[in-house]
Amino acid sequence: MERVERVVCACRGQQPDRVPRGELGIEPGLVPLLLEAAGLTPTGDALVDRVRVMQRLKFDLTGLTPALPRQDTGRVDERGRVIYQDGWGRQVVKVKNQTQVLVPAITETDQIKKWHPPDLALIDLDEIRTWRQQTDFFLFAVVEGGFSAVASLFEFTQFLKLTVTHPVEVVALVREMCQWQSELAKRCVAAGAHGVVVADDLAWQRGTFISPAALRQLVFPSLTRLVEEIKAMGVPVFLHADGDLMDIMDDIVAAGFDGLHSLEPAAGMELVKLKQLFGRKLCLWGNLSGDLLLPGVPLDKVQKATRRTLAQGAPGGGFILGNCTGILSEEMSPAHILAMYDTADQFGIRE
């Protein structure tokens, strides 16, 4: 099977020739380290080197996240950090590969009705076009869901309070945000994406951030429309969500998602149980703990966990191998990443 065919087969809940594999992203600083660990010399070309890493790991897919440009050029503070206004109107600071919000886009409730998403024309989709033209990987465009996208406009505890004190305003914002993300997803598919991942962190390790009933009232109606509109283009749609989702798994299925990514084991997302209850309804992607890929973990522990994950997820099809964070980060050990994916090469599909 070709890579795209293999992923499509799994997305449909079927069993391809082997378990598809891949991550949503690889942090740039890790790419040359992975190449060197694999005995390869980096070329210095970001696209070429990332593709070479993915080929070495035998990836079938990757994720591409279209981003809004900054609203200003930014400034450097006394600690050498770059502070700027991002495309959503937040003041943020760049620290390595992470951005931290210093001032939210919305700080007062009377600003809610005045806020609207930015112009979609500002987003550059050339990266998706380039990957579609120059590679044969299955490409997931990553967009945000209504809950986490709207929450990111506020200080988080303020947003949680607003779901109780101003539910009408929250519903309106989530609806507007989901419509905007739907239009972005459609543009991504038109540019060459084979599928879409809706990143919407709805939970933490002990359950959903707000009650399942509140999510059904405030979020799932708009999230369902978002999924419907993207699927109308004939592409699979996955939900990326960390944390313990067990109380809303039926809602995720009812929303129309084709698959679920993360399956965080530390949050109680047990692959055997998920496969038994939802394996016919959702393609499951992830579950191997990202902590196993950190330096200091015995390599045989990585290998054992990889074999266990495949043994639990692969039978019957509808499974994609990846670590539960979805990102290969610079904090991870190249040797551990190679051990994970090289172990997968030795795994035969078991019925």
The pLDDT value recorded for residue 80 is 82
- CA 184/CA 277 separation, integer angstroms: 32
Residue 156 scores a pLDDT above 60:
yes
Average pLDDT over residues 311-330: 96
Average pLDDT over residues 32-36: 98
For 41, the token pair is: 């010399």
The pLDDT value recorded for residue 347 is 79
CA 33 to chain centre: 23
- Mean pLDDT, the chain, rounded, equals 95
Is residue 6 very low, low, confident or very high in pLDDT (cuts 50, 70, 90)? very high
For 8, the token pair is: 């499509």
* Lowest-confidence region among 94-103, 179-188, 209-218: 94-103
Residue 351 scores a pLDDT above 60:
no
Residue 97 scores a pLDDT above 80:
no
Average pLDDT over residues 117-131: 96
Around 249, how many Cα atoms within 13 Å sit in the side-chain half-sphere? 22
Nearest CA-CA partner of 136 in 65, 190, 60: 60
Torsion sign, CA atoms 203, 204, 210, 211? positive
The pLDDT value recorded for residue 74 is 85
The pLDDT value recorded for residue 220 is 98
DSSP string computed for 132-181: HHH--SEEEEEEE-HHHHHHTTS-HHHHHHHHHH-HHHHHHHHHHHHHHH
The pLDDT value recorded for residue 350 is 41
Is residue 348 very low, low, confident or very high in pLDDT (cuts 50, 70, 90)? low
Cβ(183)–Cβ(127) below 8 Å:
no
